[in-house]
Amino acid sequence: MKALKTKPAHLISGEQAEQKACDFLIAQGLILVERNFRSPYGELDLIMMDGVTLVIVEVRFRKNAKFGSALESVTYAKQVKVSATTEVYLSTLESEMPRMRFDVVGILGDGDLQWVKNAF
């Protein structure tokens, strides 16, 4: 009999945080376009529409703020990866270049959620 594969606890928490962020943004009126778009440069957590604006959302989760907030964990290097991955995503679109912005949703283990529009 094969043993069931279980995901590490930090991955489960990350997935739950991403779902919480998605649900929150939908409640704010955004529309989900795609999740977890991957390219050689990295991954886009959530791709959403806010009216006519394409929104690339980076979701960050921290169990606690001991080593900085979830929002503070979006380093310049991470911004570069997200930007490069966004360029790949945009190249897959058949329509003309949409208006767009980069948002960050930070979630702490206690459930505190912060949403920063136009984060970078």
CA terminus-to-terminus distance, the chain = 49
For 35-116, CATH gives 3.40.1350.10
Query: What pLDDT score does 114 carry?
Result: 94
Domain residue limits, the chain: 35-116
Q: How far apart are CA 54 and CA 58, in angstroms?
A: 13
pTM for this predicted structure: 0.85
Q: Find residue 39's DSSP bridge partners.
A: 42
Q: How far apart are CA 19 and CA 111, in angstroms?
A: 12
Tens-digit pLDDT profile for residues 56-87? 999 999 887 677 777 888 999 999 999 999 99
Tens-digit pLDDT profile for residues 30-47? 999 999 999 999 999 999
Query: What pLDDT score does 102 carry?
Result: 98
